[in-house]
Amino acid sequence: MSDDRIDRIRKLLAQADSVAGTPEADVFNQKAFELIAKYGVDEAEVRRVSGSGPAEIIVYEIEISGAYKVDRGLLFNALAGALHCSSIRVSKSDRRKVFGTAANIERLKLLFALLSVQMNAGAAKVKGVSASSTSRARRSWMLGFIHAVSTRLEVAEKDAAYDIVGSDLVHVNDADRAAAALRLEYPNIRQLKVRRNVDGRAHADGANAGGRADIGNARMSSRRALTR
């Protein structure tokens, strides 16, 4: 991804963070996601037109550190899935392995670095009546945030590929090959379900921070809006 595009995305997300909770933040976030999605479509279109074949699936490894490591790991997984990658937690460590094309992993690294900071900062402002209720509310807030931003990113990806014939198929193929590469290295993988006692109000507040439900509907055709 070119440096100027990275800088523009960073500035948009920083602007969104500076006016969090306002309609202006919604606009800045949406523009950033659209630019991320546009880059992915551009890369897919170049491959399709040039006939260069599928891009190589590579592996990237990251260690999740700092506060709320489990929750930041959930954010990483959600963003990876939205960007056509497959990720896994390595044993019981704080490391995550992600399989995907170089372009998709580059987009993932950028978004995770920026959004995880925003998520932690937003969650830190949530307070309960006790230490246990505060912890529960903060983790619920983060779950709402994760769901909202990953859903918004998925919509942006579909919207960007809508008018480019073949680009959506390239993305599906990338996602399938990334999943296959993960299964090849980890054939006995098991998906663990995390049960949580969710604070409904905090979850809703986190979802509002991550992106309002009606984002982009006015700019989409009815067909695109149905993908939400």
Q: What is the pLDDT along the chain (228 residues), one digit of tens a residue?
A: 556 777 888 888 888 878 776 778 778 877 887 787 777 767 666 666 666 667 789 999 999 888 888 899 999 999 999 999 999 988 777 889 999 998 889 889 988 988 888 888 889 989 988 998 999 999 999 999 999 999 988 888 887 766 565 566 666 788 889 999 999 999 887 766 666 788 888 998 988 888 743 333 333 333 333 333
Extract the tokens encoding 161: 């590929």
Single out the residue of 20, 30, 35, 94 nearest to residue 61, CA to CA: 94
Estimate to the nearest angstrom the gap between the alpha carbon of 148 and the chain centroid.
Answer: 9
Its pTM stands at 0.77
Segment 95-149, tens digit of pLDDT: 899 999 988 898 899 889 888 888 888 899 899 889 989 999 999 999 999 999 9
Domain residues for 30? 3-225
> Do residues 227 and 165 touch, judged by C-beta distance below 8 A?
no
Written as six digits, the tokens of 40 are 């992915």
Cα distances (Å, whole numbers) of residue 97 to 76, 91, 119 = 10, 11, 21
Our count of domains for the chain comes to 1
Q: Write the secondary structure of 196-219 as one string of H (helix), E (strand) and C (coil).
A: CCCCHHHHHHHHHHHCCCCCCHHH
Give the tens place of pLDDT for each residue, 163-175.
565 566 666 788 8
